[in-house]
């Protein structure tokens, strides 16, 4: 049983300056919302995964404010975070704040992170405007560091199937459909499927499914944006951004 004890960390409730500072950020507000439940529970194992994850992640995010707690209380808070994390690991969620390793401005294989969505399952997905020489390089770099990674490319999607509009399709069927050999989709004179038609392709729908899976499963999602010298918009990339970073 992971007990946190009663009456811990009264300063968080009684110190108006500290609570006011916490209220100044979204993370601080969430921390104050979950804190009454966390601080009064007898057994952390009875707390939902969602609440524990929120507590651990947001505690880390506002650690600069919480560091002003009296020393003994700061230590008790650290213990509480560590015990919560233990519970999460036992549930197979992994380190709850592992997804916060990367931040905006960090560099992966020469690519600058422009946005990060924190995760809870310890796995990382990378998105960006280009795969070849951009996302794929970042992925290779993360893999070489031993990270569990994923991208919407052949390497990670071959062998998987996607349920689209009630039917199952292999990655190869999806790629072939995008090849538009039978002229299923309207094209311009060079054969490019026109933008208005792209959302009807299996590839676009598979991309949507993949993005939703990342969100449902709690992947940390790293956006490395556009490569140098390429700011051409992409219907696919724009969809990813709109869903992940609305």
Among 132, 146, 165, 246, contact with another protein (rule: CB under 8 A)? 132
Give the list of residues 6+ apart from residue 26 with CB closer than 8 angstroms, or none.
none
192 binds another protein (CB under 8 A): yes
- 3-class SS at 114? coil
From CA 28, how far away is CA 50, in angstroms rounded?
Answer: 17
125 binds another protein (CB under 8 A): no
Which one, 14 or 232, has the nearer CB to another protein?
A: 232
131 binds another protein (CB under 8 A): yes
Greatest distance between any 2 Cα atoms in the chain: 72
24 binds another protein (CB under 8 A): no
For residue 129, the minimal CB distance to another protein (Å) is 7
For residue 144, the minimal CB distance to another protein (Å) is 18
φ, ψ for residue 137, nearest 5 deg? -70, -40
Touching another protein, residues 204-223 (CB under 8 A): 204, 207
For residue 195, the minimal CB distance to another protein (Å) is 10
For residue 9, the minimal CB distance to another protein (Å) is 47
Among 55, 102, 152, 219, contact with another protein (rule: CB under 8 A)? 152
Closest CA to 3 of 85, 88, 95, 83: 83
Q: What angle do CA 53, 75, 26 make, to 5 degrees?
A: 40
Give the list of residues 6+ apart from residue 128 with CB closer than 8 angstroms, or none.
111, 134, 135, 138, 223, 224, 225, 226, 227, 237
**Where do contacts with another protein occur on this chain (CB under 8 A)?**
128-133, 135, 152-154, 158, 171-172, 175-176, 178-181, 187, 189-193, 198, 203-204, 207, 232, 234, 236-237
């Amino acid at each position: 049983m992971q007990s946190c004890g009663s009456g811990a960390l009264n300063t968080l409730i009684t110190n108006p300056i500290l609570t006011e500072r916490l209220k100044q950020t979204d993370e601080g507000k969430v921390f104050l919302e979950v804190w009454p439940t966390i601080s009064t529970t007898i057994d952390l194992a009875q707390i939902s995964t969602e609440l524990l994850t929120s507590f651990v992640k947001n505690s880390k995010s506002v650690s600069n404010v919480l560091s002003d707690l009296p020393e003994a209380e700061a230590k008790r808070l650290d213990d509480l975070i560590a015990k919560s994390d233990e519970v999460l690991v036992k549930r197979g969620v992994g380190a709850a704040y592992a997804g916060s390793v990367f931040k905006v401005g960090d560099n992966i294989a020469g690519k600058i992170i422009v946005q990060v969505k924190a995760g809870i399952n310890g796995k990382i997905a990378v998105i960006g405007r280009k795969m070849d020489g951009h996302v794929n390089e970042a992925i290779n770099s993360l893999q070489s560091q031993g990270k569990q990674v994923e991208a919407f490319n052949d390497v990670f999607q071959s062998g998987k199937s996607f349920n689209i509009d009630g039917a199952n399709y292999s990655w190869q069927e999806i790629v072939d459909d995008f090849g538009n050999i039978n002229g299923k989709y309207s094209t311009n004179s060079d054969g490019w499927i026109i933008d208005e038609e792209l959302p009807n392709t299996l590839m676009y729908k598979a991309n949507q499914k993949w993005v939703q899976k990342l969100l449902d499963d709690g992947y940390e999602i790293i956006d490395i944006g556009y490569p140098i010298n390429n700011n051409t918009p992409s219907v696919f990339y724009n969809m990813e951004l709109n869903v992940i970073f609305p």
